[in-house]
Amino acid sequence: MTIPDFQTLMLPVLKASEQGEVKIGDVVEKLAGEFALTDEERASLLPSGRQTTFANRTHCAKSYLGKAGLIEATGGGRFRITPVGIKALRRNPGRIDIKYIDQFPEFRAFRSREGESDEAGAATKATEATPLTPDETMRAAQQILEGQLGNDLLDRILTASPDFFERLVVKLLTAMGYGGSTAEAARALGRSGDGGVDGVIDQDALGLDRIYVQGKRYARDNSVGSGAIRDFFGSLDRFKAAKGLFVTTSNFTAQARETAEFLSKRIVLVDGVQLTRLMIRHGVGCRVEETLYIKHVDEEFFE
């Protein structure tokens, strides 16, 4: 079973409070059992890693029920059903969602307050049409933006010079914590090869461990095959290196990945998609244009 969306959870959350005051954490556990979620589904985290997806959606369902006046917070993460909520359950609704709770004056007043901002009104309408919580919608939009940014970065890399690709790999590795400073890493690298990077970089500041790095600046449709991986393995052998990093702007064939997996030395393959993801994560070749914060009520503050 897939994790239910937050609108599907509205009715179960309301029913969970039917007998009196409940704690949201207990409701999350109770509903996870009712929906027969697997251990993997229960443990599935949001991209932030701070909350599980199911808990986030349950909290969101509770929030919307509160805006409609069907439940009320009692403090400390606890809530209870209101007379309006009891009356709604007595009608035995088959489903409670945003369209359903729009009948209640409290929710319409909330939407009216949101309507003072065109952006907020548009966001509320968009929430009706998607099974995602507002938090998830923002993160999904972020993934789309980062996907577009990744494509733009790759286009720029492919139109730049081979020397630029070498400097890019050096910059990325130092941003990830390898090779000390950029100047030290640049000295550690050997001479440029055939349009890519071909050299050694220190894994630590003292040079006690080294990584052999090779780069291939290929067009998107020019995949790296298993032959190139075997050649790279031979280079590692000559340098008496135990591990290597192979970076390309294109991708690796299935045979190339299989070859890297079964060779006796550790070889990490980074294709064009992963390369741009690492650049975005470590702020290489891109910068923050605007920061959006997702904030929630601090329950302890109101205790």
Report the amino acid identity of residue 220.
R
Q: Which residue has the tokens 């790759």?
A: 154
Establish how many alpha carbons lie within 13 A of residue 114's alpha carbon, considering only the half-sphere containing its beta carbon: 15
Distance CA(67)–CA(79), nearest Å, equals 13
Report the amino acid identity of residue 55.
A
Report the amino acid identity of residue 75.
G
> End-to-end alpha-carbon separation of the chain, Å?
37
pTM: 0.67
What are the Cα distances from residue 32, in Å, to 1, 46, 108, 132, 300? Answer: 11, 16, 30, 18, 25
Distance CA(42)–CA(148), nearest Å, equals 31
- pLDDT 10s per residue in the chain (303 long)? 689 999 999 999 999 999 899 999 999 999 999 999 999 999 998 877 788 999 999 999 999 999 999 999 888 889 999 999 999 999 999 999 999 999 999 998 888 775 544 444 555 555 565 677 888 888 888 888 899 999 999 999 999 888 888 888 888 988 888 876 666 665 555 454 443 456 778 776 666 777 888 888 899 889 999 999 999 998 888 877 888 999 999 999 999 999 999 998 899 999 999 999 999 999 999 999 888 887 877 767 776
SS3 202: strand
**Cβ 210 vs Cβ 238: under 8 Å:** no
Q: According to the model, what pLDDT value does residue 290 have?
A: 85
Q: According to the model, what pLDDT value does residue 130 have?
A: 65
Q: According to the model, what pLDDT value does residue 225 have?
A: 94
**What domains can you pick out in the chain, each with its CATH number?**
10-132 (1.10.10), 156-281 (3.40.1340.10)
* Count of CB atoms situated within 10 Å of the CB of 259: 21
Q: According to the model, what pLDDT value does residue 8 have?
A: 95
Q: According to the model, what pLDDT value does residue 211 have?
A: 82
Q: According to the model, what pLDDT value does residue 207 have?
A: 66
3-state helix, strand, coil in the chain (%, to 5): 50, 15, 35
Q: According to the model, what pLDDT value does residue 230 have?
A: 92
